[in-house]
Amino acid sequence: MSKDIYNKSYSKLKALVDEGKSWKEIYLELNSDESHLKDIFIRLIEDKEGLLITSSKQLQELSKITEVGGIFIEGMYNRYFSTLEEMLINGCKYKDLLLIDPKNFNLPETWSGTLAEDKNSSLLWAICLTYLIDEPIGLIQFPSLRAIANEIEAPYSVLMDAFNISRLNNKIERKEDIIFSNLRKAVKQYITEQPKAWREERLLNPMKGSWTKEDAKRTEEEYLDMFLIYFKTLFIHEVAPERPLTEMQKSFIEHHKETIYKYFKRYLDEAKDIYKNEFNKAYRTAFIQTIGYSNLP
């Protein structure tokens, strides 16, 4: 996360505070699951109250938001993880990273709902993302994992672990891409099989006189995009039920769960099956950050 993006996001949310919006209103307008926005949200409260927030209970009392556990963890995680990345960018070594304790960022020994979920995996992901491991540009900058190990004075085994964690993440994402591509085709077929009245209600503009084939095609694609958002909202919730839902996400599930279960449960089961073992479950949040709540209303 660049400082420029962080500062722009801070200014945008700070403007809402200056407008007099409540913390709940500001949180609902985040419309994102990106951890740096949760960090900023907490920071704004800290700035206004003139104190440091060190627990989810304290955050709940100050924000008047009932479910803040996920907000607090993601905000603290962003501060911890950003510190690790900045240290690597500034030339710090692996031994320096080991000295940074998540507890100093109000994180427990293990947590959930973020890309990394403990100290060790945080170090591995920080190395992986900073040095673009498993990315072509990373291979250009550093010809080998051993070169990176030498750069940060880390055991070669650490770099192998970082490489493997990124490879597993990519493998999982490729499986998901196939499932969602097949689902999109199935939903498109489902649309063609619906009665004319159903299609007109969902796909046609009331001003039918000026409605062209191109308009109809575009609207169908928009419907498909939205349906996949509904599906992914339900999928992510069932894979990671501990993550809090916004009111809009709850509404998505309430209104579309029956249809998904009736016509597309096969795809839901296939997607969930990716995470059936505990090892893959540890990486479910990597998927969530890639296509999940960060892209959901």
Three state DSSP letters for 229-275? HHHHHHHHHHHCCCCCCCHHHHHHHHHHHHHHHHHCHHHHHHHHHCC
Domain residue ranges in the chain: 3-117, 170-295
- The answer to whether 148 touches 142, Cβ cutoff 8 Å, is yes
Coil, strand or helix: which one is 174? helix
Q: What is d(CA 22, CA 28) in angstroms, rounded to the nearest whole number?
A: 10
CA distances in angstroms from 215 to 116, 196, 223, listed in the order given: 43, 17, 12
C-beta contacts of 25-32 below 8 A and 24+ residues apart: 27/63, 27/65, 27/71, 28/246, 28/247, 31/297, 32/293, 32/294
Six token digits for residue 37: 């926005």
pTM: 0.63
Q: How many helices (H) and strands (E) does the chain have?
A: 16, 0
Max mean pLDDT among 219-223, 274-278, 293-297 falls in 219-223
What mean pLDDT comes out for the span 243-257?
A: 84
- The answer to whether 268 touches 261, Cβ cutoff 8 Å, is yes
Max mean pLDDT among 2-6, 30-34, 230-234 falls in 230-234
Per-residue pLDDT tens over the stretch 36-86: 889 999 999 999 999 999 999 999 999 998 878 788 999 999 999 999 999
**pLDDT of the residue at 290:** 41
**pLDDT of the residue at 209:** 55
Coil, strand or helix: which one is 110? strand
**pLDDT of the residue at 289:** 45
What mean pLDDT comes out for the span 259-268?
A: 93
